[in-house]
Structures are given as structure tokens and as C-alpha cells.
Structure 1
Amino acid sequence: MRKCFLWPWIVMAAVLWLAVPAGSKTAAPTERADSVLILKKDHVLELLAGGKVIRSYKVALGSGGLAAKERAGDGRTPEGHYVIDSRNEHSAYHKALHISYPNEEDRRRAAKLGVSPGGKIMIHGLPNGKGWIGAAHRTIDWTLGCVAVTDDEIEQIWKLVPVGTPVEIRP
């Protein structure tokens, strides 16, 4: 009887342990990122200053797979060079940094295919009211092409990444 009672607690502890953030590196509170690097294959977002990683986060990406975004609605995260061009603290997600997708190359590629490249690609927290999901959100790629972090992580990123910061998204 006692073993049956302990088993759910052991499983819950294991799930919580797996959901703990992958250890974001700490930066001095005044240190700002001068670039953002997203490595899709590794599901990692890095904030850099002077070429050195000052913070690193595990992320969820677009549900359309790891291939490069080609068109509106494909659910993929784009690849290329962009900038943070706006911030929205009142988005449907817990804060959002807008990435300047599509760039000129993305528009040319979409035009060649005769499709719209899409847009509204962001780095954001969890959907409003769903912050309790925490790091468990990273178990699947669930966004429409955006890069998602926890609410606590977007709070850190929000403080360190100003508008105009370059963003590189690699395969």
C-alpha cells in the first residue's frame, strides 16, 4: 500500500526535475545584449555581448518542423538575419519582441513560389494565463513560427534586448 502511495510522488518529482530551466547563464543586470542567436537544431536562444554568451535559454519553436519558413501558415520558424524592431508588453503572450521577418531575401523567395512569406514572428513568453506551464512547454514545438520561452525568461530577455538588436536564426 505504501509503495502505491509513493509512486505518484516519484513520477511528479521526476517531471518537475525535467521541467527545470536548463540553467540560463547570468549577466550583470546592467549588461545589455548586442545580438541574439537562435540555434533551431539545438532549440537554444543565446544573448551575446561582445561576442560572448551572456544568457542562454532552451526554447520551443514553430510546430511546422525545423525546415526554414517558406510561406504564411506553414508553422515554421524562419532562418536568416533580422532585428528586433518592436516590443509589445500587451500581446496575447507574456511580452513579445517582434523580429523583422520577412527580410528582402524572404520576400524574394516567397515571390518566386507565388506565396505570401507571412509575418508576425516574435520571441515571446507563454500565452497569457498559462505561465504555470513553465519549462514544460519546451517538450514540444508548439508555436506558429515564433520562438517561445517561459514568462520568467522573457522578463530577463525584455530587460537585456533593446529594439534594434540584430537577430540571427540558424538551422
Structure 2
Amino acid sequence: MLRNPDYPGLITWRAVWILTLFIFHGSSSAAISSPYLIEINKSTRELKVLSGEQVVRSFHISLGKADHGAKRRRGDNRTPVGAYQVVDFNNDSKFFFFMLLNYPNTVDAWHGYRDQTISASEFRQIVTAIKNGAVPPQNTALGGFIGIHGVGEETGETLEIHESFNWTEGCIALTNDEMNELRQYVSYGTRVLIRE
């Protein structure tokens, strides 16, 4: 049974997991054209570019200021944990270059719905967007505009902060030169796996 008997109308985590697998690997999701996988390890502050099992390149990264735990709401300064895809690019970002991820995904939406952070309507909008390979709503209480970006204006001070601290509001940051290098491995639909 996919319904939770303790909370009528609330689907179980197993149903969400099945839905996520279908959507993430299903035919109606965004085309996955990149042969690369981006794997982010929050505990080691490392981003790896993988081709199959082979590490092609790795980078030191900065994360959200509240670096432990999954992102659950706007303004919590946490980097999300889960499986995402790159869905847009911004060449004119104040952070040099920005790769937008499809956060919130279906699991994030389920947690938000379960915790009454978002409505059933917002849950459905997010799930539909993910299923169709579109950008999910970015203006819910779950937050949005999570991605991978550069430092922006690089000075000795900003580079030292980047090297030493997690300074973003939930995004993943690299130096501008590293972003230029990472760009060659990333296209629309590139998978991004973020682990604690």
C-alpha cells in the first residue's frame, strides 16, 4: 500500500522513492546527454566528475553555511542531499557562472509536504515539473535557485574565504577557473549526486 495509515492522504517514503526512480530514470525526464556524473561529498567538501567508475577530475568546494543535514526550507543555508540534474545555465551570474539544479526534487517535495512546509498543490507542481524535465517551482517555502557556481569577483580575501569556509546560502561553489574547467563536462541533464 502506498498510503501512510497514520496520515491519510500522505504517501509513504517507499512510494516517493519509487516515484523518484521512475522520474529520474524515466523516459519523460530531461534528456541525459552528458556521459559524466557529478558527485558531491559534503563531508569532504569535494566535487568529483565521474565517467563510469573513473574519476576524471576533482575539485575542492564550498557549500552552504549550515553544511550538515539536508535542505528542508528556504533560508536554512543548507546544501541539499539527493539526486538532481542540471536544468539551466546563467553566464551573467554575479557568481561568474551558474548551473541551476532541479531542486527541489520529488524527495525534497515529499519531505516538504509531509512536514506541512508546502501544500499538496505545490507538491504536485514540483513532481510534474521534475517528470517533464522542467525547472521545478523555485519560490516555495522549500527554497530554490540551488546550483553550482563560481566565486564571483575574486580577490585574495574571497579566495581565502572560499578555501577555508562554507560560505554559500546552499549552493556549491568553486573558483572561477575551476568553473571554467567544470563547464566542459556539464550539459543540460547532467546528473548531480549530492551525498552527506
TM-score, normalization by structure 1: 0.76
Q: What are the Cα deviations for residues 63-94 of structure 1, in whole angstroms up to 9, with x where unaligned?
A: 02311111111000000001011111111211
Partner of residue 121, structure 1? 146
**Does 2:89 correspond to 1:87?**
yes
- Measured at CA, do residues 134 and 33 of structure 1 come closer, stay the same or move farther in structure 2, by a change above 3 Å? farther
Cα shift at 1:50: 2.2
Larger Rg over CA atoms: 1
**Does 2:128 correspond to 1:103?**
no
User: Which of 31, 47, 50 matches 2:49?
Assistant: 47
Contact map agreement 1:47 1:55 (CA 8 A) in 2: yes
Partner of residue 16, structure 1? none
Aligned residues: 139
Cα shift at 1:158: 1.1
Q: Which runs of 5+ in 1 are unaligned?
A: 1-31
Partner of residue 35, structure 1? 37
Question: 2:173 corresponds to which letter in structure 1?
Answer: A
Runs of 4 or more above 4 Å deviation: none
Question: 2:185 corresponds to which letter in structure 1?
Answer: L
Contact map agreement 1:37 1:168 (CA 8 A) in 2: yes
Cα shift at 1:131: 5.2
Partner of residue 173, structure 2? 148
User: Which of 73, 76, 81 matches 2:75?
Assistant: 73
Q: Distance in 1 between matches of 2:155 and 2:182?
A: 16
**Does 2:164 correspond to 1:139?**
yes
Cα shift at 1:151: 0.5
Contact map agreement 2:161 2:167 (CA 8 A) in 1: no
SS, match of residue 184 in structure 2: helix
Q: Distance in 1 between matches of 2:97 and 2:142?
A: 24
* Percentage of identical aligned residues: 34
Q: Distance in 1 between matches of 2:148 and 2:160?
A: 15
Q: Distance in 2 between matches of 1:112 and 1:68?
A: 15
CA RMSD of aligned residues (A): 1.5
**Does 2:132 correspond to 1:130?**
no
